Copies of this chain bind each other. A is one copy, B any other.
């Protein structure tokens, strides 16, 4: 046997804190019953959490007239989280409490292709404005979460070979923030954040969920067995560069990735902008909404092409729910018929008999909401509890 194996029976500080994070209030007896720990160990754990102000006496049972507190609650205002959802042409930023609930929020245009320095400077300016608005300082920030519209090597936090993020390849986003804030920095792909946002807020009981973002580009985030799935290198969900046909590549449109015939070279916002000869995705959407024949035809074609790729994903992953988000989800009528047609035609009956294909519920906020929840998970991960305790609230 290995002598380094951990006993199965130990519920550590993080486990006790986790109980407070999921229940509104708890007594000491509740904690004993839920953990199986002895009274003395529970007292020790609770004292540590109270001393660190991660847990506080709760209102209803707060000490009165010398009587000690009997009920305790998680102190979600002990610090704040800063979150940025960076898109190709705009970003949302937010200040959240330690439950990941958005307290202050901003939205502004950016150009991600202008490179990391100007974009991250804009993110930081928004963060400073949010802190000022909330009456908080940089020292109160317990964690920073940023999601970006490109592939992220999740372990290193680096953007890797991003088709639309010029100048970001291998850029160390974490290091940039490390010099400005003293807290963990989490970097993820936008579609992963969207998947977590929709899953936790709208479909918490669903175990297998696919979110397809159809914005400037096309990508997918996946919830597998209830957790966000990133693959071996963080590259999972690259549905936009599935190729539509094998064979004659001369007739296929060239994609931003350098290949031809990719899904997003037909169905991404940038492809519609190219084909309709307009200046941006919003203008393309306006044309489609006014019923312009060419625009509607292209939108319907985009729906069928997305449906082809989503059918592949349904065949491979067999999700219960497919959520369509991104700017193009606004033209639901034109897009969804083609998507549904292709998925129900192509995928196995076993895979589609209980499948739901729906538009995003959180809309353009799904990434921001999800990134905040991912950041909360990360901040309260078992290996971070000691540094969280050590940080003064």
Q: Which residues of A contact B (CB under 8 A)?
A: 1, 3, 5, 7-11, 15, 23, 26, 30, 33-37, 151, 153, 160-161, 207-208, 220, 222, 224-225, 227, 229-239, 241-247, 257, 259, 304-305, 308, 311-313, 315-320, 345-351, 353-355
Contacts and interface: CB of A to CB of B under 8 A. Distances in A.
A330 B37 CA distance: 57
Given A5-B34, A231-B318, 19 more contacts: A1-B33, A7-B36, A8-B9, A8-B35, A8-B37, A9-B36, A160-B350, A220-B316, A222-B316, A224-B225, A224-B229, A235-B318, A235-B348, A236-B351, A238-B316, A238-B318, A241-B346, A243-B346, A245-B245
A85 B224 CA distance: 27
Kindly report how many copies of this chain are found in the complex they form together: 2
Contacts of A233: 318, 350-351, 353-354
A319 B353 contact: no
A245 B247 contact: yes
Contacts of A348: 151, 161, 235, 238, 241, 257
Contact of A208 (B231, B241, B242, B313): B231
A239 B34 contact: no
Main secondary structure of the interface of A (DSSP, over half): loop
Contact of A316 (B26, B308, B316): B316
B7 A34 contact: yes
A308 B8 contact: no
A222 B224 CA distance: 12
Contacts of A231: 208, 317-319, 351
Nearest to A352: B235
Contacts of A239: 315-316
B304 A246 contact: yes
22 contacts: A1-B33, A3-B33, A8-B36, A9-B36, A10-B36, A161-B350, A208-B232, A225-B229, A231-B317, A234-B350, A235-B351, A236-B351, A238-B315, A239-B315, A241-B346, A242-B311, A242-B316, A243-B346, A245-B247, A259-B345, A259-B346, A316-B317
A161 B350 CA distance: 7
Contacts of A153: 350
A78 to B, nearest CB: 22
Contacts of A349: 160-161
Contact of A8 (B15, B257, B312, B315): B15
Given A8-B36, A9-B11, A245 B244 contact: yes
A208 B305 CA distance: 28
Contacts of A151: 348, 350
A8 B5 contact: no
